[in-house]
Structure 1
Amino acid sequence: MSKNLSINGKLYTLEVQEEMPLLWAIRDIVGLTGTKFGCGVSQCGACSVLINGKLTKSCSMPVSYGIGKEIFTIEGSSENLEFLREAWHDGNVPQCGYCQSGQLIAATYLLDTTENPTDEDIDTAMSGNICRCGTYPRIRKAIHKAVALKSEKI
């Protein structure tokens, strides 16, 4: 049976089981491979996406959860994500880079919900994303820079 998923503003019709993890539909069926598989049990954050604006771990959500909702992945574009991408680049945030798509999506959610986050806000918001390389200080600094970039452009 066909399932319609709206991902980054584009509608995709998929022939998949409703129980299939959303991550695999996004990566393997749609071909948007920026969202990563890390742990498969919603602990690392590499698979993070936004569903109707809410931060969601796609590895543990079935495709059925995404039907009729707007799914936003790292391949998408939003004002906050663009400021974050610029700050990430300027701050040389990624080391190995594997977790960065999930980190950027979590940071996007933070900036979508908190105009000027404190260090504590950032640490709390980013706590669901693991970075093996330990770039947490660079991530925090880049989030602050993204806020500054956004305020400069307003």
Structure 2
Amino acid sequence: MPMIDVYAATDLFPSDSDRRLGEELTLAVLRAEGVEKPGPLHLNNTAAYIHRMQASAVQTAASASAKTVRVQVITPPGVLNRDGQKQLVKEITEIVTKISGDPSQASRTWVLLTEAAEGGWGIAGTAFGKEEFAALAAKAAAAK
């Protein structure tokens, strides 16, 4: 299950937009992974962490309160192919721009796609690799 971290100045998004941002980003990641109909396993375990920081905590050489956004998506090994990567970066940028309400935000939105190492992904005391993810998917399919 992917993990999503959004780092932005407190005033970049409307104060009541965290839920919308988290939900839209989650669904974009799952689409990029090829999950057409997310079930409870996907929806309950794909988490979005919205890190709102003081404006002065976001710096560039040009500004002491930059309006840049960093979205990092961490996925299990091998779940995003090249088309999925392109799709995801495009969708995340569109979502951030739309929710920020600033059409110029796209040029200040960084998307980092990070793939966890084989076995470097864990929940419930289990380090997941391809074998464990395959078993989990088979279990979920059998439960349908």
TM-score, reference length from structure 2: 0.28
Normalised TM-score (structure 1): 0.27
Give 1 or 2 for the bigger CA radius of gyration: 2
RCO higher in structure (CA 8 A, sep ≥6)? 2
Of Structure 1 and Structure 2, the greater strand share is in: 2
